[in-house]
Structure 1
Amino acid sequence: MNNKYIEMKRKHQKEVNNFPMFFAFSKEQFKEGMKKLGLEPSETNKIYKFGNTGGFYKRTDSAKLKKMLNRHDKEIKEAMKNDTFIFDMFYYELGNHEYSITYELGDTLDSLSLTYEEVQNDKRLLNALDLAIKKIME
């Protein structure tokens, strides 16, 4: 099966993986990460923390990171104009979050930054979700 959603996720993940940032959960990892960015461990004024993920990146790369993440969001929104993409998206995430075992939609919708109400109020989303559920339960 040619799943456009998976293709886009992989493309976006590759871009994120190639972005100059690091994740650290110990002092040693932090020192190694700073070196990777060309900084001394004491130069913490030159980095930003990426939420509560343990991720760090240079302050000077902030605009590039924001631009990349905004582009990813726009690409997904544009792709969601296609019903097949929406089906692929739900089908993948339902499987990824073990819907056929749990019968719970919460994790699937959270991973897509959608609420149950948004899906209920959008016939295209609701139809694609229903089709994906039927397929995953086959």
Structure 2
Amino acid sequence: MIALLSTDIKFDSKPYIEVTDGAERLFNEEFKKYGFWAFSNEQFSEGLARLRETLPEGFKVRRIGMGGFVWTEKAQYVVDLSKEGKRAVAAKMDDPDFARGAFLYEMDNHEYFINHYQGDYDVCSCFAVKPLEYGDDKGYREYLTEAGYGDDVIRCYQQAMRQHFRGAEQNGWI
């Protein structure tokens, strides 16, 4: 999506999507080799059976996150891969065009306009390599500072937020 304001500020989310899609694709490929998702005993048994076909006899799995199970020997590798996308994004956030497009994409994706109480946390969490600590009294400034970003990135967030609200008004969401 490319939208221009009267000041010709760009909001192109394509570069952000390309970075995140590439990282997600790599994670999914590697996770499929070494792990599985299971939310029932049946899914757990099926996942173990699939891994038995390719992994050494006697392998063990460990839980990573909600419903994720991975071969113990590859657990750290898979966890590191899961963070690689956020690291790749964080490395590009000093480019204002990239940052604005990324923020606007996540604001639109997380229904920022209607998520008054947790919108900043949800959006800012997409850009934090380490988990952010939620706080009822915290806003985007605190979250982005906690994530290690400075004033320039915070300004990009503000610009994206204004653009998101413009879009909400234009689309009749308000």
SS in 1 for 2:69: strand
TM-score scaled by length of structure 2? 0.65
The 5 Å alignment of 1:7-18 reads 7-18=18-29
RMSD: 2.5
Secondary structure of the structure 2 residue equivalent to 1:133: helix
Higher helix share: 1
Paired positions, count: 134
Query: Where does 1:46-85 land on structure 2 (aligned, <5 Å)?
Result: 46-51=60-65, 53-85=66-98
1:130 to 158, 162, 166: 158
Residue ranges of structure 2 left out of the alignment (5+ in a row)? 2-11, 133-139, 167-174
| SS state at 1:105 partner | helix
**C-alpha displacement at 1:47, in angstroms?**
0.8
Change (3 A) 1:45 1:137: same
2:92·2:98 contact (CA, 8 Å) conserved in 1?
A: yes
Displacement of 1:62 in angstroms is 2.5
Divergent runs of 4+, >6 A = none
Q: Percent same amino acid among aligned pairs?
A: 26
2:56 equivalent to 1:31: no
Per the alignment, do residues 69 and 102 of structure 1 end up closer, same or farther by CA in structure 2, a change over 3 Å counting?
A: closer
